[in-house]
Amino acid sequence: MENPFLKRASEYLRDDEAFLAVVSPEPVTFFLRGRGQAGTLYDRLLFMQGTPGSGKTTLARLFEYPTLTALLRNRSSSGYQSLAGALVECGGIVDDRPAVIGCRLTMETDYRDFWEFPYNETLKIGLLTTFVQARAVLAWFRHLASEGVSASRIRIVPRSDAETAVDAIGGPDAEGVLARAREVEAAAYEIVGALIAPREEDLSPAVTGAYRPFDVIDRIEVVPQNDATSPLSLLPLVILDDANVLHPSQFRALQHWLARRELRIARWMIARFDILLPQEALNAVTEDRAEADFPGLTAGRDIEIVLLQSSGPRREQRTAFRRMAKDMAGRYLQKHSLLGPRRLIVLSDLLSDQEESISPSALREYGEMVNAAQRRLRVTDSRREEFEKEVDSFRSGGRAVPPDVRLAMLMVLLHRYDRRRKKVATLFETDPEPSRPIAANSDVHEAAKLHLLHRYNRPFYFGIDDLCDSSSENAELFLQLSAVLVETVATQVIRSKGPQLSAGTQSRLLRQRAEWIINKWSFPYFQEVRQLVTWIGKRCVEVTQEPNGWLTPNSYGISQEEFENLAKNYPDLARVLQFAVAYNAILLVPNYKQGSKIWCLLELGGMVNLAHGLSLRRGGFLEGEAEALAALLEERPS
């Protein structure tokens, strides 16, 4: 029995149909539709940034020509219709025909090697851009050939002002362009594959001469085999994937080169945050715009930035992610060899959302603790009755709360009352009124459930929404968490038990899995990141456990001003924070207004919340200072 949830990376799905079967249209719609309709997807450099597993390569691969054609071939199938619709909205498909011819070049291969050569920087960048262009041209031709289009049926349409430069790329006919691209690629490959760098004067003119197909090509036309159809006009799109593996200087030069406005072809760069300087990376997720280093280049007007992780409209993102995750889970479950054929393909149906109460003996014990607290705090019976009525009238999801939560809420209210009443009762006043009304609301409910989690290990994380919310809006994390749940569902089916997982099982498995994931971290600065989030997590737990439940935090707030100067004042902390953000350990929530201050919240990622037993609700934070975090990092990570 294969568990498809364990195979997340889209690169592992070689076959286009297999790839399309597991892709959800939601991220396409959420991240790209607006930009596609505004035209900014194709007329300027699109810079897609995200954490590993945020779906960068999946989005890129969708726009590759073979994927688009495979999608169109299967568009009558119900599983593909929504995806095809999303691509129509993004302008990738027009009139049931592909509108772009995308090729994805992964920078993981030999592109970085140019940087190691003993040439001057201009030459090294020139060699890189030449190599990229030759490979892109070859990829476009290869994609068309895979669809049965020979070079003789391809017409390269040059920019109107670049007709004289056509000769330099082997034009005007397509066979010439293809031959020239092969010649340039072979010459460039000889350099990059050489054991010892050739002398500069020995470099082939094929790579040092003028070869700028990106400057020349406007469209690629496919001549139909018969007169019944019109020519297919395609916008060339080059996608440079994993650009973070390039040398930072290469990366910036390539970015500058691709951001030029006169280019007609569409060009996308995809990278993790690792490549950026700490302040840039932090700005990227807080401002959603990166400042460019090169004069005359304005991020925003020249570069369209797509940030594939939580930022901006957070409520909207969480809702969109839930939609996407549920859709994706359904697609993966269909492919599960045991659950698919049994039509157990709706993940939310497999995850019970029925609360599980603590044991009767624990309930008795807790009841006595509440009585003791009432006596200790000198709360009158009538006041307690009032609170009990308040709790009884509270509804969670339209339902009354179970007895254990009722007791825990009462406990919270007793302590809140104690805080809010006059401290010294007068001789005639044994039951003073609180300074503010005591209400049983959703905050009290959340605090009560967390108290029960920490005291009695009462299941807290269960149901599909908790699963989605604990994934930090990251598809890979969602699948990693889901994998263990799905595996357990399958095990129950094999053991002839019902497929649905109880709340207790879900909560326990999710927390174990989160701890396992954190223990397996191996990204740059992971020890410091672990030290940082553990410290914040423990402090949040301490506050969460306070009996009046005044706060259920999962974030650490520093002032926005302090955050903006972080890279200057605390460069080591900024670097650690960059990688914490880049690998989903922390999410940044900038410009968060609380009282008269503006904060930047360092919100713990879902795995940390699960591992420490913290609320998944947003907004609760501990007020702090960057200095405390910087001092913490000076200690040796354990």
Angle at 13 between CA 12 and CA 16, to 5 degrees: 150
Q: Residue 364 or residue 497: which is nearer to other proteins going by CB?
A: 497
Q: How far is the CB of 495 from other proteins (least distance, A)?
A: 5
Distance between CA atoms of 387 and 306, rounded to whole angstroms?
49
Q: How far is the CB of 79 from other proteins (least distance, A)?
A: 25
Kindly tell me which of 199 and 495 has the beta carbon lying closer to other proteins: 495
Residue 294 or 516 having the CB closest to other proteins:
516
The CB-of-196 to other proteins minimum distance in angstroms stands at 23
Beta bridge partner(s), residue 49? 271, 307
Closest to other proteins by CB, 8 vs 180, is 8
Closest CA to 158 of 146, 176, 144, 143: 176
CB nearer other proteins, residue 37 or residue 512: 512
**Rounded distance between C-alpha atoms, residue 88 and residue 626, angstroms:** 46
Q: Which of 130, 449, 359 is nearest to 138 (CA)?
A: 130
Distances in Å between the alpha carbon of 127 and those of 131, 190, 206, 259, 470?
6, 12, 10, 18, 45
Mask 476-515, x = binds other proteins (CB under 8 A)?
A: --------x--xx--xxxxxxx-------x----------
Residue 130 parent element (H or E):
helix 121-146
Of 610 and 616, the one with the shorter C-beta distance to other proteins is 610
Nearer to other proteins, 315 or 495 (CB): 495
Work out how close the CB of 444 gets to other proteins at its nearest, in angstroms, rounded to a whole number: 33
Question: Least distance (Å) from other proteins to the CB of residue 333?
Answer: 16
> Whole-angstrom Cα distance, residue 429 to residue 425?
6
The CA distance from 552 to 622, in Å, is 10
Quote the DSSP letter at residue 397: T
Min CB(515)–other proteins separation in Å = 15
**Distance between CA atoms of residues 622 and 255, nearest Å:** 39
Torsion of CA 167, 170, 173, 179, to 10 degrees: 170
Question: Smallest distance, Å, CB 461 to other proteins?
Answer: 17
Site for other proteins in 334-363 (CB under 8 A): 338
Q: How far is the CB of 496 from other proteins (least distance, A)?
A: 6
Residues in 60-79 that interact with other proteins by CB under 8 A: none
For residue 205, what is the enclosing H or E element? helix 205-208
Of the pair 123, 338, the CB lying nearest other proteins is at: 338
* Residues that bind other proteins in the complex, under the rule CB under 8 A: 1, 338, 484, 487-488, 491-497, 505
